Structure 1
Amino acid sequence: MSIFDWLHRAETTAAPPDREAAEDGLRAEVIAALRTVYDPEIPVNIYDLGLIYGLDVDAAAGKVSIRMTLTAPGCPVAATFPGTVERAVQAVDGVREAHVELVWEPPWSRELMSEIALLELGLI
């Protein structure tokens, strides 16, 4: 299963309306928190940079699971950066537990960047 199939599956899983609204609200707050964390080498936040490959939110349990990558496997912050991201997410009201899994497949590329990131870097 590709990362895009996985994300689509996670986004289309049906949930009861109240639960879905709570998860959508918490998800939006988590994304806002992710946008406050910047890549140490590129002056763009990790969400718009395309480093977040998966985001699962369980609002009822207050749990957030994130699959993310870094721009390069040899990144000097690979050992500590997931903890930085976890702390940013745990600061969100309603989050009791956050877990970040660092993955390397698919490799990060410029194509994963949002238009906002491309504009910030002057690439479009």
Structure 2
Amino acid sequence: MHHEREQIEVSRDCPAVSVPYGAPVTIEKGCMAQITQKLGGSYTVYVDGNLYRVEGVDADALGFEPTEAVNTPVMPEGPLSAESVRDMAWSLLATCFDPEIPVDIVNLGLVYRCEVETLGPDDYRIDVDMTLTAPGCGMGTMIADEARVKLLSIHGVSDVNVNLVWDPPWGREMMSELARLEMGMM
């Protein structure tokens, strides 16, 4: 079943990244773009037969209100502890999306480990092991960088390591029930 998606004329040259290869490109002013996904502060657009990811700071080129990159510290609920930082970390990881799939990386089962280490009073490090749906996906470093930037925004977090791992290999059985439902796999 084919959905008619919103066609938008790009109002200015707009930096983007090709999906799934991750190569930086410029979508030229006047191109017609079809919005396929608006999630996690970025947009996935279809232009001339190719998919591209446009960050929220460039949303004005697509006719939307631009969103600033996350740089305001996010405060965990209650007193700062390794546990409250870990809860906040999982919440923020659930705001990272694969540009081709409308499900966040947590529900896709791509995050294997998220551990918080106390470095000192109100000073924490987060270590994340995550994988991708396919080892050749060029978007991996972009998704990992997005996760790292979001996790560094947590108040009290001074260091974040996001490791891309391939063992165990990802499989559809790792997806949450919600993700399988969203993708019509139930």
TM over 0.5: yes
Q: Which residue of 2 aligns with 1:37?
A: 96
Q: Which residue of 2 aligns with 1:22?
A: 81
Q: Pick from 146, 155, 167: which aligns with 1:84?
A: 146
Question: What is the SS of the residue equivalent to 2:141?
Answer: coil
Matching of residue 116 in structure 1 with residue 116 in structure 2 = no
> Unpaired runs of 5+ in structure 2?
1-79
> TM-score scaled by structure 1?
0.76
Q: Which residue of 1 aligns with 2:125?
A: 63
Q: Going by fraction, where is helix more abundant, 1 or 2? A: 1
Runs of 4+ in 1 over 3 A off after TM superposition: none
Instruction: For residues 61-85 of structure 1, give each alpha carbon's deviation from its aligned partner in whole angstroms, at most 9, with x where no partner exists.
Output: 3100000001101102133332111
Instruction: Check conservation: 2:152, 2:159, Cα contact below 8 A.
Output: yes
Q: Which residue of 2 aligns with 1:105?
A: 167
Q: Using the TM superposition, give the Cα deviation of residue 105 of structure 1 relative to its aligned residue in structure 2, in angstroms.
A: 0.9
Q: Using the TM superposition, give the Cα deviation of residue 109 of structure 1 relative to its aligned residue in structure 2, in angstroms.
A: 0.6
- Code of the residue aligned with 1:63 in structure 2: it is R
Matching of residue 51 in structure 1 with residue 106 in structure 2 = no
Question: How many residues of Structure 1 are paired with residues of Structure 2 in the alignment?
Answer: 104
2: CA distance, partners of 1:87 / 1:93:
12
2: CA distance, partners of 1:117 / 1:89:
22
Q: Which has the larger radius of gyration?
A: 2
2: CA distance, partners of 1:120 / 1:40:
15
2: CA distance, partners of 1:25 / 1:71:
29
2: CA distance, partners of 1:120 / 1:46:
13
- Code of the residue aligned with 2:101 in structure 1: it is I
Q: Using the TM superposition, give the Cα deviation of residue 90 of structure 1 relative to its aligned residue in structure 2, in angstroms.
A: 0.9
Q: Using the TM superposition, give the Cα deviation of residue 122 of structure 1 relative to its aligned residue in structure 2, in angstroms.
A: 2.2
> TM-score scaled by structure 2?
0.52
